[in-house]
Chain A
Amino acid sequence: MNFGKNIALGAIGLAVVAAIAIGPVRAEEVEVKIDNFVYNPQTLTVKAGTTVTWVNHDDIPHTATSKTGVFRSKALDTDDKFSFTFATAGTFPYFCALHPHMTGTIVVEAGSGKS
Protein backbone atom coordinates (compact mmCIF):
# COMPACT_ATOMS: atom_id res chain seq x y z
CA MET A 1 0.00 0.00 0.00
CA ASN A 2 2.61 2.43 1.13
CA PHE A 3 4.91 1.25 -1.56
CA GLY A 4 2.26 1.87 -4.24
CA LYS A 5 1.61 5.36 -2.99
CA ASN A 6 5.30 6.20 -3.20
CA ILE A 7 5.43 5.00 -6.74
CA ALA A 8 2.41 7.11 -7.59
CA LEU A 9 3.93 10.19 -5.95
CA GLY A 10 7.19 9.52 -7.72
CA ALA A 11 5.37 9.34 -11.01
CA ILE A 12 3.65 12.69 -10.34
CA GLY A 13 6.99 14.16 -9.38
CA LEU A 14 8.51 12.98 -12.61
CA ALA A 15 5.59 14.32 -14.59
CA VAL A 16 6.01 17.78 -12.94
CA VAL A 17 9.73 17.80 -13.64
CA ALA A 18 9.05 16.77 -17.21
CA ALA A 19 6.46 19.53 -17.64
CA ILE A 20 8.87 22.16 -16.36
CA ALA A 21 11.66 20.84 -18.54
CA ILE A 22 9.50 20.77 -21.64
CA GLY A 23 7.65 24.04 -21.29
CA PRO A 24 9.81 26.48 -19.32
CA VAL A 25 8.29 29.70 -20.69
CA ARG A 26 4.67 28.59 -20.85
CA ALA A 27 2.37 31.18 -19.26
CA GLU A 28 0.67 30.14 -16.05
CA GLU A 29 -2.35 31.46 -14.24
CA VAL A 30 -2.58 31.83 -10.51
CA GLU A 31 -5.41 33.17 -8.38
CA VAL A 32 -5.38 35.41 -5.32
CA LYS A 33 -8.62 35.16 -3.37
CA ILE A 34 -9.92 38.08 -1.34
CA ASP A 35 -11.80 36.82 1.70
CA ASN A 36 -12.66 38.71 4.89
CA PHE A 37 -10.47 41.68 3.93
CA VAL A 38 -7.42 39.46 3.40
CA TYR A 39 -5.49 38.56 0.22
CA ASN A 40 -4.92 34.83 0.07
CA PRO A 41 -2.11 33.95 -0.35
CA GLN A 42 -0.76 37.16 1.09
CA THR A 43 2.62 36.57 -0.54
CA LEU A 44 2.56 34.78 -3.86
CA THR A 45 5.69 33.68 -5.71
CA VAL A 46 5.35 33.11 -9.45
CA LYS A 47 7.56 32.80 -12.51
CA ALA A 48 7.83 35.68 -14.95
CA GLY A 49 5.07 35.58 -17.52
CA THR A 50 2.47 34.38 -15.02
CA THR A 51 -0.97 35.95 -15.05
CA VAL A 52 -2.30 36.60 -11.55
CA THR A 53 -6.04 36.96 -11.12
CA TRP A 54 -7.57 38.53 -8.02
CA VAL A 55 -11.12 37.45 -7.15
CA ASN A 56 -13.12 39.32 -4.53
CA HIS A 57 -15.30 37.03 -2.43
CA ASP A 58 -16.31 39.77 0.05
CA ASP A 59 -19.60 41.68 0.11
CA ILE A 60 -17.54 44.87 0.15
CA PRO A 61 -15.55 46.17 -2.82
CA HIS A 62 -11.76 45.97 -2.77
CA THR A 63 -8.94 46.84 -5.13
CA ALA A 64 -5.52 45.41 -5.92
CA THR A 65 -3.38 48.51 -6.24
CA SER A 66 0.35 48.33 -6.79
CA LYS A 67 2.34 50.43 -4.33
CA THR A 68 4.63 51.51 -7.14
CA GLY A 69 2.00 52.11 -9.81
CA VAL A 70 2.72 48.91 -11.79
CA PHE A 71 -0.93 47.80 -11.79
CA ARG A 72 -4.21 49.11 -10.49
CA SER A 73 -7.53 47.32 -10.54
CA LYS A 74 -10.83 49.13 -10.53
CA ALA A 75 -12.99 48.57 -7.45
CA LEU A 76 -13.88 44.89 -7.52
CA ASP A 77 -17.41 44.24 -6.37
CA THR A 78 -18.42 40.79 -5.13
CA ASP A 79 -17.02 38.05 -7.44
CA ASP A 80 -15.38 40.60 -9.75
CA LYS A 81 -11.93 39.66 -11.07
CA PHE A 82 -8.83 41.52 -12.08
CA SER A 83 -5.88 40.00 -13.95
CA PHE A 84 -2.36 41.20 -14.50
CA THR A 85 0.50 39.45 -16.26
CA PHE A 86 3.87 39.83 -14.59
CA ALA A 87 6.38 39.93 -17.42
CA THR A 88 9.46 40.85 -15.42
CA ALA A 89 11.04 39.57 -12.24
CA GLY A 90 10.77 41.63 -9.08
CA THR A 91 8.85 42.17 -5.88
CA PHE A 92 5.49 43.87 -6.29
CA PRO A 93 3.82 45.01 -3.08
CA TYR A 94 0.17 46.03 -3.40
CA PHE A 95 -2.76 47.06 -1.22
CA CYS A 96 -6.46 47.82 -1.26
CA ALA A 97 -6.92 51.52 -2.02
CA LEU A 98 -10.23 51.42 -0.12
CA HIS A 99 -8.98 49.50 2.92
CA PRO A 100 -5.24 50.21 2.97
CA HIS A 101 -4.61 47.94 5.96
CA MET A 102 -5.06 45.11 3.42
CA THR A 103 -1.66 44.41 1.87
CA GLY A 104 -0.09 41.68 -0.24
CA THR A 105 3.01 40.96 -2.30
CA ILE A 106 3.64 39.23 -5.62
CA VAL A 107 7.19 37.96 -5.95
CA VAL A 108 8.09 37.30 -9.57
CA GLU A 109 11.09 35.10 -10.25
CA ALA A 110 12.86 35.06 -13.57
CA GLY A 111 11.48 32.31 -15.78
CA SER A 112 13.72 29.20 -15.98
CA GLY A 113 14.20 29.85 -19.71
CA LYS A 114 15.85 33.17 -19.02
CA SER A 115 18.99 34.32 -17.17
Chain B
Amino acid sequence: MTTHDHDHGEGPSRRKVLECMTWAGTGVLWTISGGVPHSLGIIDEALAADAKGLTFLQISDSHMGFDKPANPNVKSTLEEAIGRIKALPAKPAFMIHTGDITHLSKVKEFDDAEQIISQAKLDVNYVPGEHDIIDPEIKLYKERYGRGAKGPGYYSFDANGVHFMGLVNVAALKAGGMGSLGDEQLAWIEADLKGRSTSTPIVVFAHIPLWTVYPQWGWGTEDSERALSYMKRFGSVTVLNGHIHQVMQKVEGNVTFHTARSTAFPQPAPGSAPSAGPLKVTDDKLRTMLGIASIAFEQGDQRLAIVDTPLAS
Protein backbone atom coordinates (compact mmCIF):
# COMPACT_ATOMS: atom_id res chain seq x y z
CA MET B 1 0.00 0.00 0.00
CA THR B 2 2.65 2.42 1.00
CA THR B 3 4.75 1.20 -1.88
CA HIS B 4 1.83 1.57 -4.21
CA ASP B 5 1.08 5.06 -2.96
CA HIS B 6 4.67 5.89 -3.16
CA ASP B 7 4.95 4.78 -6.78
CA HIS B 8 1.67 6.34 -7.71
CA GLY B 9 2.45 9.58 -5.98
CA GLU B 10 5.90 9.81 -7.43
CA GLY B 11 4.94 9.17 -11.05
CA PRO B 12 4.85 12.69 -12.31
CA SER B 13 7.64 13.99 -10.16
CA ARG B 14 9.78 11.04 -11.18
CA ARG B 15 9.18 11.94 -14.78
CA LYS B 16 10.21 15.45 -13.94
CA VAL B 17 13.35 14.18 -12.30
CA LEU B 18 14.12 12.13 -15.40
CA GLU B 19 13.61 15.16 -17.56
CA CYS B 20 16.03 17.04 -15.39
CA MET B 21 18.46 14.16 -15.52
CA THR B 22 18.34 14.13 -19.29
CA TRP B 23 19.18 17.76 -19.20
CA ALA B 24 21.74 17.38 -16.45
CA GLY B 25 23.01 14.27 -18.18
CA THR B 26 23.92 16.31 -21.19
CA GLY B 27 25.91 18.54 -18.93
CA VAL B 28 27.49 15.57 -17.18
CA LEU B 29 28.47 13.98 -20.46
CA TRP B 30 29.91 17.27 -21.52
CA THR B 31 32.12 17.35 -18.47
CA ILE B 32 32.97 13.69 -18.11
CA SER B 33 33.15 12.51 -21.68
CA GLY B 34 34.82 15.69 -22.68
CA GLY B 35 33.66 16.91 -26.02
CA VAL B 36 34.86 20.37 -25.30
CA PRO B 37 37.86 21.03 -27.46
CA HIS B 38 40.37 23.56 -26.34
CA SER B 39 42.81 25.49 -28.38
CA LEU B 40 45.90 25.27 -26.28
CA GLY B 41 48.12 27.36 -28.45
CA ILE B 42 51.40 25.62 -27.79
CA ILE B 43 51.84 22.43 -29.73
CA ASP B 44 54.55 20.92 -27.50
CA GLU B 45 52.46 21.38 -24.39
CA ALA B 46 49.50 19.58 -25.91
CA LEU B 47 51.54 16.71 -27.26
CA ALA B 48 53.64 16.27 -24.13
CA ALA B 49 50.48 15.98 -22.07
CA ASP B 50 49.08 13.43 -24.43
CA ALA B 51 51.61 10.65 -24.58
CA LYS B 52 49.03 7.97 -23.76
CA GLY B 53 46.07 9.36 -25.71
CA LEU B 54 45.26 9.53 -29.38
CA THR B 55 46.74 12.30 -31.46
CA PHE B 56 46.08 12.78 -35.12
CA LEU B 57 46.78 15.54 -37.56
CA GLN B 58 44.66 17.47 -39.96
CA ILE B 59 45.91 19.12 -43.12
CA SER B 60 43.68 20.69 -45.70
CA ASP B 61 43.40 22.54 -48.98
CA SER B 62 46.85 21.83 -50.46
CA HIS B 63 45.65 22.98 -53.92
CA MET B 64 48.53 21.38 -55.83
CA GLY B 65 48.70 23.16 -59.18
CA PHE B 66 47.62 26.60 -57.94
CA ASP B 67 50.23 29.11 -59.15
CA LYS B 68 48.71 32.55 -58.71
CA PRO B 69 50.16 35.54 -56.83
CA ALA B 70 48.53 34.62 -53.48
CA ASN B 71 51.08 31.76 -53.39
CA PRO B 72 52.88 30.78 -56.59
CA ASN B 73 54.65 27.90 -54.86
CA VAL B 74 52.09 25.73 -53.09
CA LYS B 75 54.43 22.73 -53.21
CA SER B 76 56.95 24.38 -50.96
CA THR B 77 54.37 25.43 -48.37
CA LEU B 78 52.96 21.87 -48.33
CA GLU B 79 56.51 20.60 -47.90
CA GLU B 80 56.96 22.98 -44.96
CA ALA B 81 53.72 21.69 -43.41
CA ILE B 82 54.87 18.09 -43.79
CA GLY B 83 58.25 19.11 -42.38
CA ARG B 84 56.50 20.38 -39.26
CA ILE B 85 54.60 17.13 -38.91
CA LYS B 86 57.81 15.10 -39.25
CA ALA B 87 59.44 17.22 -36.57
CA LEU B 88 56.70 16.67 -33.99
CA PRO B 89 58.07 15.28 -30.71
CA ALA B 90 55.35 12.61 -30.51
CA LYS B 91 54.34 10.78 -33.66
CA PRO B 92 50.63 11.21 -34.43
CA ALA B 93 48.57 8.06 -35.02
CA PHE B 94 47.54 9.16 -38.51
CA MET B 95 46.60 12.12 -40.63
CA ILE B 96 43.38 13.32 -42.17
CA HIS B 97 43.23 15.53 -45.24
CA THR B 98 40.00 17.49 -45.54
CA GLY B 99 40.08 17.96 -49.29
CA ASP B 100 41.18 20.18 -52.15
CA ILE B 101 44.31 18.12 -52.41
CA THR B 102 44.60 19.46 -55.96
CA HIS B 103 43.49 22.61 -57.70
CA LEU B 104 42.18 21.10 -60.95
CA SER B 105 42.01 17.30 -60.38
CA LYS B 106 44.99 16.70 -62.68
CA VAL B 107 47.09 13.54 -62.50
CA LYS B 108 50.27 15.54 -62.01
CA GLU B 109 48.69 17.46 -59.14
CA PHE B 110 47.61 14.26 -57.39
CA ASP B 111 51.11 12.86 -57.98
CA ASP B 112 52.77 15.94 -56.49
CA ALA B 113 50.52 15.81 -53.43
CA GLU B 114 51.24 12.12 -52.91
CA GLN B 115 54.97 12.60 -53.31
CA ILE B 116 55.08 15.33 -50.64
CA ILE B 117 52.47 14.05 -48.17
CA SER B 118 53.88 10.51 -48.14
CA GLN B 119 57.08 11.92 -46.65
CA ALA B 120 55.24 12.25 -43.34
CA LYS B 121 55.18 8.42 -43.26
CA LEU B 122 51.72 8.39 -41.75
CA ASP B 123 48.46 6.81 -42.86
CA VAL B 124 46.30 9.50 -44.42
CA ASN B 125 42.50 9.43 -44.47
CA TYR B 126 41.20 11.66 -47.22
CA VAL B 127 37.90 13.24 -48.13
CA PRO B 128 37.56 15.10 -51.43
CA GLY B 129 37.08 18.80 -51.95
CA GLU B 130 35.25 20.16 -54.99
CA HIS B 131 38.62 20.72 -56.69
CA ASP B 132 39.43 16.98 -56.47
CA ILE B 133 36.39 15.70 -58.31
CA ILE B 134 36.26 17.94 -61.36
CA ASP B 135 36.29 14.93 -63.71
CA PRO B 136 32.62 13.94 -63.97
CA GLU B 137 33.00 10.31 -62.86
CA ILE B 138 35.33 11.24 -59.97
CA LYS B 139 37.67 8.60 -61.39
CA LEU B 140 41.02 10.08 -60.40
CA TYR B 141 40.11 10.73 -56.78
CA LYS B 142 38.34 7.42 -56.25
CA GLU B 143 41.13 5.40 -57.81
CA ARG B 144 43.64 6.86 -55.41
CA TYR B 145 41.73 7.49 -52.22
CA GLY B 146 38.21 6.23 -52.55
CA ARG B 147 38.79 2.50 -52.80
CA GLY B 148 36.48 0.69 -50.43
CA ALA B 149 34.60 3.89 -49.68
CA LYS B 150 30.94 4.35 -50.51
CA GLY B 151 29.35 6.63 -53.10
CA PRO B 152 31.70 9.47 -53.99
CA GLY B 153 34.05 8.45 -51.15
CA TYR B 154 32.54 8.40 -47.65
CA TYR B 155 33.54 5.88 -44.98
CA SER B 156 34.03 5.38 -41.26
CA PHE B 157 36.62 3.74 -39.01
CA ASP B 158 37.53 3.43 -35.34
CA ALA B 159 40.73 4.38 -33.57
CA ASN B 160 41.38 4.27 -29.82
CA GLY B 161 37.66 4.07 -29.07
CA VAL B 162 36.91 7.13 -31.19
CA HIS B 163 34.57 6.72 -34.17
CA PHE B 164 35.67 8.62 -37.27
CA MET B 165 33.42 9.44 -40.21
CA GLY B 166 34.84 10.86 -43.45
CA LEU B 167 31.99 12.51 -45.36
CA VAL B 168 31.65 13.95 -48.87
CA ASN B 169 29.66 17.17 -49.23
CA VAL B 170 31.06 18.37 -52.55
CA ALA B 171 29.51 15.93 -55.05
CA ALA B 172 26.44 16.49 -57.25
CA LEU B 173 25.86 20.02 -56.00
CA LYS B 174 22.66 21.74 -57.01
CA ALA B 175 22.30 25.17 -58.61
CA GLY B 176 21.84 27.92 -56.05
CA GLY B 177 22.78 25.66 -53.16
CA MET B 178 25.74 25.10 -50.86
CA GLY B 179 27.55 21.89 -49.94
CA SER B 180 25.36 18.81 -49.83
CA LEU B 181 25.56 15.28 -48.42
CA GLY B 182 22.57 13.83 -50.25
CA ASP B 183 19.93 11.32 -49.14
CA GLU B 184 22.01 8.22 -49.73
CA GLN B 185 24.87 9.41 -47.57
CA LEU B 186 22.51 10.70 -44.88
CA ALA B 187 20.89 7.27 -44.65
CA TRP B 188 24.33 5.71 -44.37
CA ILE B 189 25.29 8.14 -41.56
CA GLU B 190 22.17 7.20 -39.62
CA ALA B 191 22.84 3.48 -40.06
CA ASP B 192 26.53 3.82 -39.26
CA LEU B 193 25.80 5.48 -35.91
CA LYS B 194 22.97 3.16 -34.92
CA GLY B 195 23.73 1.06 -31.88
CA ARG B 196 26.86 2.94 -30.93
CA SER B 197 27.24 3.93 -27.31
CA THR B 198 26.54 7.58 -26.62
CA SER B 199 29.85 7.78 -24.79
CA THR B 200 31.78 7.02 -27.99
CA PRO B 201 33.48 10.23 -29.09
CA ILE B 202 32.55 10.97 -32.70
CA VAL B 203 34.84 12.79 -35.10
CA VAL B 204 33.32 13.85 -38.41
CA PHE B 205 35.48 15.27 -41.17
CA ALA B 206 34.39 16.70 -44.50
CA HIS B 207 35.58 19.42 -46.85
CA ILE B 208 32.94 22.16 -46.68
CA PRO B 209 31.94 23.28 -43.18
CA LEU B 210 28.96 21.36 -41.80
CA TRP B 211 27.59 24.51 -40.27
CA THR B 212 26.54 27.63 -42.12
CA VAL B 213 29.51 29.94 -41.98
CA TYR B 214 28.46 32.30 -44.77
CA PRO B 215 25.74 31.28 -47.23
CA GLN B 216 26.44 34.22 -49.54
CA TRP B 217 29.71 32.50 -50.41
CA GLY B 218 28.25 29.00 -50.24
CA TRP B 219 30.17 28.30 -47.02
CA GLY B 220 27.89 25.72 -45.48
CA THR B 221 26.17 22.38 -46.12
CA GLU B 222 22.47 22.60 -46.83
CA ASP B 223 21.48 19.21 -45.38
CA SER B 224 24.00 19.10 -42.53
CA GLU B 225 21.27 19.57 -39.93
CA ARG B 226 19.88 16.12 -40.70
CA ALA B 227 23.33 14.58 -40.34
CA LEU B 228 23.85 16.37 -37.02
CA SER B 229 20.46 15.23 -35.74
CA TYR B 230 21.77 11.64 -35.83
CA MET B 231 24.68 12.74 -33.64
CA LYS B 232 22.71 14.65 -31.02
CA ARG B 233 22.67 11.78 -28.52
CA PHE B 234 26.46 11.48 -28.44
CA GLY B 235 28.31 13.20 -25.66
CA SER B 236 31.22 14.36 -27.78
CA VAL B 237 31.02 15.24 -31.45
CA THR B 238 33.84 17.03 -33.22
CA VAL B 239 33.40 18.25 -36.78
CA LEU B 240 36.57 19.06 -38.71
CA ASN B 241 36.40 20.89 -42.02
CA GLY B 242 38.52 22.82 -44.52
CA HIS B 243 37.41 24.77 -47.59
CA ILE B 244 37.46 28.27 -46.10
CA HIS B 245 41.25 28.47 -45.63
CA GLN B 246 41.11 29.97 -42.15
CA VAL B 247 40.59 28.83 -38.59
CA MET B 248 37.07 29.14 -37.32
CA GLN B 249 35.47 27.43 -34.35
CA LYS B 250 31.99 27.12 -32.99
CA VAL B 251 30.54 25.11 -30.14
CA GLU B 252 26.89 24.14 -30.21
CA GLY B 253 25.79 21.88 -27.37
CA ASN B 254 27.83 18.71 -27.58
CA VAL B 255 29.13 19.52 -31.06
CA THR B 256 32.32 21.39 -31.76
CA PHE B 257 32.92 22.67 -35.26
CA HIS B 258 36.40 23.56 -36.39
CA THR B 259 37.97 24.53 -39.70
CA ALA B 260 41.66 24.18 -40.48
CA ARG B 261 44.01 26.45 -42.33
CA SER B 262 45.06 25.70 -45.89
CA THR B 263 48.64 24.80 -46.75
CA ALA B 264 48.32 26.79 -49.99
CA PHE B 265 46.73 30.23 -49.68
CA PRO B 266 44.50 32.14 -47.25
CA GLN B 267 40.97 33.25 -47.99
CA PRO B 268 39.26 36.38 -46.67
CA ALA B 269 37.07 36.44 -43.57
CA PRO B 270 33.39 36.03 -44.52
CA GLY B 271 32.07 39.16 -46.17
CA SER B 272 35.31 41.09 -45.81
CA ALA B 273 36.06 40.99 -49.54
CA PRO B 274 34.01 41.10 -52.76
CA SER B 275 34.39 37.33 -53.09
CA ALA B 276 35.96 34.23 -51.55
CA GLY B 277 38.92 34.37 -53.95
CA PRO B 278 42.47 33.92 -52.68
CA LEU B 279 43.61 36.55 -50.20
CA LYS B 280 46.80 38.16 -51.46
CA VAL B 281 49.14 38.99 -48.63
CA THR B 282 52.81 39.92 -48.48
CA ASP B 283 55.33 37.06 -48.55
CA ASP B 284 56.34 37.51 -44.92
CA LYS B 285 52.71 37.27 -43.82
CA LEU B 286 51.71 34.30 -45.96
CA ARG B 287 53.12 31.60 -43.71
CA THR B 288 51.34 32.99 -40.66
CA MET B 289 48.07 32.27 -42.46
CA LEU B 290 48.84 28.72 -43.60
CA GLY B 291 49.28 25.72 -41.35
CA ILE B 292 48.22 22.43 -39.86
CA ALA B 293 46.04 21.30 -36.98
CA SER B 294 46.81 18.71 -34.35
CA ILE B 295 43.91 17.03 -32.56
CA ALA B 296 44.40 15.09 -29.33
CA PHE B 297 42.15 12.96 -27.16
CA GLU B 298 43.25 12.18 -23.67
CA GLN B 299 42.15 8.87 -22.35
CA GLY B 300 40.44 9.10 -18.97
CA ASP B 301 38.90 12.52 -19.05
CA GLN B 302 38.70 12.25 -22.85
CA ARG B 303 39.46 15.86 -23.28
CA LEU B 304 39.87 16.80 -26.88
CA ALA B 305 42.36 19.44 -27.82
CA ILE B 306 42.75 21.07 -31.18
CA VAL B 307 45.94 22.96 -31.78
CA ASP B 308 46.31 25.03 -34.90
CA THR B 309 49.88 25.71 -35.86
CA PRO B 310 50.76 28.22 -38.56
CA LEU B 311 53.83 27.60 -40.71
CA ALA B 312 55.35 30.75 -39.23
CA SER B 313 54.36 32.98 -36.36
Contacts and interface: CB of A to CB of B under 8 A. Distances in A.
B173 A97 contact: yes
A32 to B, nearest CB: 16
> Which secondary structure dominates where chain B touches chain A?
loop
A98 B275 contact: no
A98 B131 contact: yes
Contact of A94 (B104, B175, B278): B175
A95 interface: yes
A74 B277 contact: no
Contacts of B134: 61, 74-75, 98
Which residue, of A65, A77, A95, A100, has the highest number of chain B Cβ atoms within 10 A? A100
Contacts of A77: 104
Contacts of B277: 36-37, 58-60
A100 B70 contact: no
Contacts of B218: 99-102
B272 to A, nearest CB: 13
B76 interface: no
A46 B276 CA distance: 30
A1 B175 CA distance: 51
A37 B131 contact: no
B145 interface: no
Contacts of A75: 104-105, 134
A58 B173 CA distance: 20
B103 A61 contact: yes
Contacts of A60: 276-278
B148 interface: no
Interface residues of A, number: 23
Contact of A93 (B104, B175, B215, B276): B175
A36 B134 CA distance: 20
Nearest to B134: A75
B178 interface: yes
B308 interface: no
Interface residues of B, number: 24
Nearest to A36: B275
Contacts of B105: 75
Interface in A22-61: 36-38, 58-61
Interface string A74-114: 11011000000000000001110111111100000000000
Contacts of A38: 275
A101 B274 contact: no
Highest count of chain B CB atoms <10 Å: which of A60, A77, A95, A102: A60
Contacts of A61: 103-104, 131, 134
A18 to B, nearest CB: 40
B68 interface: yes
B131 A101 contact: no
B71 to A, nearest CB: 10
B176 interface: yes
Nearest to A37: B275
A36 B274 contact: yes
Nearest to A60: B277
A58 B278 CA distance: 9
B275 A101 contact: no
Given A37-B275, A37-B277, A60-B277, A103 B176 contact: yes
Nearest to A72: B136
8 contacts: A36-B277, A38-B275, A59-B69, A61-B134, A65-B175, A75-B134, A94-B175, A95-B176
10 nearest A-B residue pairs (beta carbon): A95-B175, A36-B275, A101-B218, A100-B173, A37-B275, A59-B68, A36-B274, A75-B134, A98-B130, A100-B177
Interface of A: 36-38, 58-61, 65, 67, 74-75, 77-78, 93-95, 97-103
Given A37-B275, A98-B134, A101-B217, 12 more contacts: A36-B274, A36-B277, A58-B275, A61-B104, A75-B105, A77-B104, A93-B175, A97-B130, A99-B130, A99-B218, A99-B276, A101-B215
